[in-house]
Amino acid sequence: MARLQGRDTPSAGPEAELWMGAHPSGPAGLTRDGRATTLLDAVAGDPDGELGSACARRFGGRLPFLLKVLAAEQPLSIQVHPDRDQARSAFAAQQARGGHGPYADDWPKPELLCALSRFEVLAGFRDREEAAHLLENLGVDGLRPVIGLLRAGTGEQALSEALRVLLERAPDDRAPLVSAVVASSRRLARSAHPHAAAYAAVERMSGHHPEDLGLVASLLLDHRVLEPGTALFMPAGGLHAYVHGVGLELLANSDNVLRAGLTTKEVNVPELLRITDPSVRVPVVAPRSVPGPGSTWLYDCPVAEFALYRTELDGSGGPLVPASGPRIVFCADGSARLSARTGNTEPLRLGPGASCFLPASDEEVLVEGEGTLFVAAVGLRPDEHGAIAQNSFTSL
């Protein structure tokens, strides 16, 4: 993170996430007319002006997306996020009980992860038979009940049941089981096994979470390595973990997290399993070229809250895409100069790791420079009839 922003390295302490948004847990600082404020306060003070009236109505005056840089030197927790109905009902019930619980807000949390470096992830459940095969190859007697559940099952729910049996393991049995799994994973990671990379991930993650049942549960999940510029869409209900790498994460404006492992925080197994959908598949999102300065691509997602654009500036310049709505612009590399087509405001220069917020009232912004820009925007746009339509979805 420090290297990306041009600060001294190494940083004074771990820096895993950089938030750019208006969530109450961590609103971005904002300088407006020479005055320091936060993006949360700016949006709350003028929802129609900052978001546009259509967006303000649709999302109750709330900026619907949150942009993050993730710098995972060690694995982040295995986790899952609720959909809109689940978040609303669970948060309301939690508030009625006094407010203590795992829900930070009443919003869903679908996510898009775009790799800035090679990024290792666990994303969604494996095929049931494949998961059984990976566990069986370990040769660990303590996994026989889990393997039996997977083999005897007739549907994807057997994956959830296998996860439940793993996470509810008797406390005295956990350390011996994990130790045996790590030892066998170490052996298989050095073999010609087709899933050697998944076993190698278990071995590496054990250095950070040596007795965590999430190490075993990770083998139920699909292991992938994303190349830079590749993106995954993570629907609500999809179990996942971000293992290692630097990436840009765009998500609905929520901090709702249910954890399954690789963490020192609470693992609420019943609630985790209620939210987890074992049928969720995690597609790779194929960006499609759209008109814009330099070379511009859109990562379409099947959600209303967000869309991500990537622009490779080549010095020619032009109107920033998209041209309307609330937008957060992040410079990942090089530099860019942004200026309003109308008005007397001074141009704004963004260097590596810098970002800015463009309100809906800035309807057209010109951009020039050489580098890579990402633009987070709302996933709604006017169609030819002037109504609000959701972005289409393209995946590989």
Going residue by residue through the chain, which has 396 residues, state the pLDDT in tens, using 9 for 90 and above: 888 888 888 888 889 999 999 999 899 999 988 899 999 999 999 999 999 999 999 999 999 999 999 999 999 999 999 999 999 999 999 999 998 999 999 999 999 999 999 999 999 999 999 999 999 999 999 999 999 999 997 789 999 999 999 999 999 999 999 999 999 999 999 999 999 999 999 999 999 999 999 999 999 999 999 999 999 999 999 999 999 999 999 999 999 999 999 999 999 999 999 999 999 989 899 899 999 999 999 998 999 999 999 999 999 889 999 999 999 999 999 999 999 877 667 899 999 999 999 999 998 899 999 999 999 999 954 433 233 333 332 222
CB 222 within 8 A of CB 122: yes
Q: Is 259 a catalytic residue?
A: yes
pLDDT tens digits for range 276-317: 999 998 989 989 999 999 999 999 899 999 999 999 999 988
Q: Distance between CA atoms of 189 and 202, rounded to whole angstroms? A: 9
Q: Which two three-digit tokens encode residue 274?
A: 């209620």
List domains and CATH numbers for the chain: 2-122+226-263 (2.60.120.10), 126-220 (no CATH), 288-390 (2.60.120.10)
Q: Which two three-digit tokens encode residue 271?
A: 């609630």
State the virtual CA torsion across 362, 392, 242, 67 in degrees, nearest 10. Answer: 10
Q: Distance between CA atoms of 106 and 358, rounded to whole angstroms? A: 26
**Annotated catalytic residue: which of 62, 84, 128, 259?**
259
The rounded Cα 79 to chain-centroid distance in angstroms is 11
pLDDT tens digits for range 174-185: 999 999 999 999
Q: Which helix (H) or strand (E) holds 48?
A: helix 47-51
The rounded Cα 207 to chain-centroid distance in angstroms is 24
CB 376 within 8 A of CB 67: yes
- What percent of the chain has a predicted confidence (pLDDT) above 90? 84
213 backbone dihedrals φ, ψ, rounded to 5°: -65, -15
241 backbone dihedrals φ, ψ, rounded to 5°: -155, 140
CB 125 within 8 A of CB 221: yes
pLDDT tens digits for range 205-262: 999 999 999 999 999 999 999 999 999 999 999 999 999 999 999 999 999 999 999 9
Cis, bond preceding 287 (omega within 30 deg of 0): no
